[in-house]
Amino acid sequence: MAGGILRESGRSMHEMSLAEGMLQLVEETARREQAQRVKTIVLEIGQLSSVETSALEFCFAAVAAGGPADGARLVIVDVPGAGRCLSCGRTVAMESLFGVCPDCGSHRLQATAGTEMRVREMEIE
């Protein structure tokens, strides 16, 4: 049993750090706005960001427990990946960071969207 917990926590360390950073931002905003409670947090998470959303949700619930964001609903908005081909200059959809340009076959793609994770809005009371 302990081995399973360690393996899971190893995969979630990235998401735990993200959840802690997000909580700090959310709590600072709630304090500034003199809110008692955070009800909803809308997150934009890029397809190319390497964020495992279910792990992020779990980690956020753990770090938010007992504070103003305890029980807050997370709404996740997926942001599709896109990039610019450095060989032919076209903007193309990207499903992974190491894609191939569908127009010229080049591997020289530079991501222009889909790597972000940001708090887009919050509902507070």
Q: Is the pLDDT of residue 1 over 70?
A: no
The CA distance from 115 to 34, in Å, is: 32
DSSP 8-state symbol, 7: H
Q: pLDDT by residue (tens digit) across 21-41? A: 999 999 999 999 999 999 999
pTM of the model: 0.80
Q: With CA atoms as reference, report the closest residue to 45 among 14, 86, 7.
A: 14
Label residue 10 by pLDDT band (50, 70, 90): low
Domain boundaries 2-124, corresponding CATH code: 3.30.2320.80
- Which sequence spans correspond to the domains of the chain? 2-124
Task: Please give the helix or strand (H or E) that residue 118 lies within, else none.
Answer: strand 117-124
Extract the tokens encoding 18.
Answer: 């993200």
Using DSSP bridges, classify how beta strands 38-46 and 73-79 pair: parallel, antiparallel or unpaired: parallel
Q: Is the pLDDT of residue 2 over 60?
A: no
Q: pLDDT by residue (tens digit) across 107-116? A: 999 999 999 9
